[in-house]
Amino acid sequence: MNDDLSIARQVTPRPINDIAARLGIQGEALLPYGRDKAKVDVASITAGIPGRLILVTAISPTPAGEGKTTTTVGLADGLNVIGKRAMACLREPSLGPCFGVKGGATGGGHAQVIPMEAINLHFTGDFHAIGAAHNLLAAMLDNHLYWGNALGIDPERVQLRRVVDMNDRALRNIAVGLGGRTNGVTREAGFDITVASEVMACLCLAADAQDLKQRLGRIVVAARRDGSLVTADDLGAAGAMAALLKEAIEPNLVQTLEGTPVFIHGGPFANIAHGCNSVIATRTALGLTDYVVTEAGFGADLGAEKFLSIKCNSAGLAPAAAVIVATARALKMHGGVAKADLGTENVAAVEKGASNLRRHVENVRNFGVPAVVAINSFTADTPAEHAAIAAAVADLGVEVVICNHWADGGKGAAELAEKVVALAEVGPATINPLYPADAPLLAKIEAVATKIYRADGIAPAKGVAKQLADWEARGFGHLPVCMAKSPASFTGDPADIGAPVDFTLPIREVRLSAGAGFVVALAGEVMTMPGLPRTPAAESIDMVGGSIEGLF
């Protein structure tokens, strides 16, 4: 069986001008990066009547893989197969997981986005621009401290960290300004991965360039000794940061193996950020075609919740339908089966692990979004296992569709496409909010923990409640909350698989993202700077005879 990279290389990409023409994008609106990818100047596009938005989410991820991106691509292709005008909107891959353990993020098999190598590596340079803008702000902050600190910043209350788009645990905690006074003020600092940057979140939630500049200016970088906040605007940094993002704010246009148009733009992780592609790309796509298929990172407890509570709430969007992706393999892992034993039929484990799927279905339905379950089929699956999945959610009022898009591309997702159309054409969904906007911030965190994760309650660390109350007093109480926790479990412990109950969610820290427009609550031991595994994927990636090998 060919690997994903080999399959991708068997297809010659169509000229990007042809893909753009399918969407009515022509002339100066298209900014090509070579012949198979381009930026799109959204200001030069005349949008039509908005299409229907379809959200793809999934069960809690496992090492077995669920194939959410693959299903998103397959569904977009499948909608075109059944005669609908459709495209996909995805996030850009981070170099961290690409060289770490997860691999790339362009789909798999015959449901992929191309050019695979370019998208998974440097692409059009958006992440580099975001990292540069973020680190410019950090440099200007330390420069301000060095030249007299006219703003009265307390060096011990600097909250801005630097970023790099790579898994590097050695940079989690560092000291800057070492080596004498000419090197700046000595203080403790650290790095986050670029996808956790507030600059990334600002770009992905901005309505346009002006809104982006305003959001950048609101980023809180530090506090004074009296507790008052210092922003990027106070440092005079927002204009230069926006200049660095002039091209990065424009969506990137590529295509699937079957020539379906795809916008790939922005890339915040869902476990440590809000996990959705850009509002600009999504809104633009909705004005260009009849169906837009997008995904939200990790399981529905993280990605879908943030998509609905943060992105949709901020941008005035609402999905017409949702697809919840599951695999028999992953449900067997949630049922306690080791990865090495997943090739053997185990209906009992599927039934046990399906408790995880049920909870995700319930959560999506409770938001008021009609949903269908897509079984991303593997060759080792058995009819009995598929039947067990359908039986496990039968009483929840959702249909279950077996999909073969990995092997058959759009044709393998045609039945799923028909089901999605049937749900979506009933009418747009009305999102039921998880909590009122005027609820206290701590109550919002507790609402996510109890209503989505099914915790008995939360256990805030010392100082968390006081910090939240202080932000409320400063006018930030209306903001939604963005949970940062392990994606592998509903709890803060990734070992708690399935659908755990009778637990308390620890909240160890909160961070204000005033520019992005949310408050981050860190639960458990989640890291904003991941580390590489014992054997990183980078060891298998190579340049051979001018070709990149080993990407997956």
The catalytic position among 127, 269, 298, 490 is 298
Fold of 126-238: Domain 2, N(10)-formyltetrahydrofolate synthetase (3.30.1510)
Q: Once rounded to an integer, what is the mean pLDDT over residues 384-397?
A: 96
The catalytic position among 62, 69, 70, 106 is 70
Q: By C-alpha distance, which of 50, 39, 102 is closest to 265?
A: 39
Q: Check residue 95 and give its pLDDT.
A: 93
Q: Once rounded to an integer, what is the mean pLDDT over residues 167-181?
A: 96
378 counts as catalytic = yes
The catalytic position among 406, 471, 503, 518 is 406
450 Cβ contact list (under 8 Å, min separation 6): 456, 457
Local confidence band at 1 (pLDDT 50, 70, 90 cut-offs): low
Superfamily of domain 4-124+248-424: P-loop containing nucleotide triphosphate hydrolases (3.40.50.300)
Phi, psi of 18 (to 5 degrees): -70, -40
Q: Check residue 373 and give its pLDDT.
A: 98
% of the chain surpassing 70 pLDDT:
99
pLDDT tens digits for 458-479? 999 999 999 999 999 999 999 9
pLDDT tens digits for 180-225? 999 999 999 999 999 999 999 999 999 999 999 999 999 999 999 9
Report whether pLDDT(297) > 90.
Answer: no
298 counts as catalytic = yes
70 counts as catalytic = yes
Tell me which CATH code domain 441-523 carries. Answer: 3.10.410.10
CB 52 within 8 A of CB 285: no
Task: At 240, list the tokens.
Answer: 């230069």
The catalytic position among 52, 84, 91, 411 is 91
Q: Where are the chain's structural domains?
A: 4-124+248-424, 126-238, 441-523
The CA distance from 449 to 521, in Å, is 11
Local confidence band at 236 (pLDDT 50, 70, 90 cut-offs): very high
Report whether pLDDT(47) > 90.
Answer: no
270 counts as catalytic = yes
246 counts as catalytic = no
Q: Once rounded to an integer, what is the mean pLDDT over residues 39-47?
A: 91
Local confidence band at 427 (pLDDT 50, 70, 90 cut-offs): low
The catalytic position among 191, 263, 378, 476 is 378
Local confidence band at 394 (pLDDT 50, 70, 90 cut-offs): very high
391 counts as catalytic = no
This prediction has a pTM of 0.95
Mean pLDDT of the chain: 95
pLDDT tens digits for 131-143? 999 999 999 999 9
Pairing assessment for the beta strands 261-264 and 86-90 based on DSSP bridges:
parallel
Local confidence band at 5 (pLDDT 50, 70, 90 cut-offs): confident
Q: Check residue 452 and give its pLDDT.
A: 97
Q: Check residue 103 and give its pLDDT.
A: 73
The catalytic position among 39, 52, 84, 102 is 102
Q: Which residue shows structure tokens 């028999």?
A: 328
- Omega before residue 319 within 30° of 0, cis: no
Angle, helix 414-424 to helix 68-81, in steps of 10 degrees: 80
Q: Give me Rg for the CA atoms of the chain.
A: 23
Report whether pLDDT(429) > 90.
Answer: no
Local confidence band at 428 (pLDDT 50, 70, 90 cut-offs): low
SS3 content of the chain, % helix, strand, coil (to 5): 40, 20, 40
The catalytic position among 68, 215, 329, 444 is 68
